Amino acid sequence: MMNGRDISQGKSLGDLGREAFWFLTHTLIAVAMLALVIVVISIGHPDSDSIAPKALATFLAALIPMIGGAIVARLQHNEIAPYTWISGLVIFSIVCVWVLDLPTGKGLCENCGAVDKLWRTFFTFRHGSGLMGGDGLLIGTWLPLSMVGYAVGARLAQDPY
C-alpha cells in the first residue's frame, strides 16, 4: 500500500484493465532495456566462451533496467511499475519447469539431477548444461533479472528511503 489506501478492492473493470495494461507495458519496457544491453554488448562481437562478457551482461541486465525503472517511475508516478518483478518470477518459473522437462543425453549434463540441471543452465558461465541450446542465461537469468531490476528501480524511485 503505497499511499495508504487498499489497492485490491473497490476497483472498476476499467481500473483493472488500465492496471493490466501498465503492468504489461512496464514488463515490455524492462525487456526492451535488456534488448538494448544485449545489442550493445553484441556490437563488440565477444567470445561466446569467455566469462567476462557474460558477467558484464548479467550485471548490466540488472543495472540498466533498474536505472530505467527509476526514471520511468519518477516521470510517470505509476503504482504498478514496482510489481514487474512478478513477471520475472513467472517467466523464471516457467523456464525452470521447461528445463527440468528437457531430456539429458551424452554431453555436458548427462547425469545431472534437477538442481544441477537448473544451476548449470542458468547460473554457470563456464561448462553450462548444454540445454536450451546455450540460451539459459538469456532466457532464464537475464530476462527475469531485467524485470526484477526494473521493479527495484521503480520502487526506489517512488520510496527512496
How many structural domains is the chain composed of? 1
Per the domain annotation, does 50 fall within a domain?
A: yes
User: Which cell goes with 155?
Assistant: 520502487
* CA end-to-end span of the chain: 15
Range of the domain at 124: 14-158
Per the domain annotation, does 2 fall within a domain?
A: no
Look up cell 537475464; give the residue: 142
Per the domain annotation, does 8 fall within a domain?
A: no
As a whole number, mean pLDDT of residues 39-54 equals 89
pLDDT band of residue 161 (cuts 50, 70, 90) is low
pTM of the predicted model as reported, rounded to 2 decimal places: 0.86
Long-range contacts of 43-48 (CB under 8 A, 24+ apart): 48/134
Per the domain annotation, does 1 fall within a domain?
A: no
Higher pLDDT, 156 or 110: 156
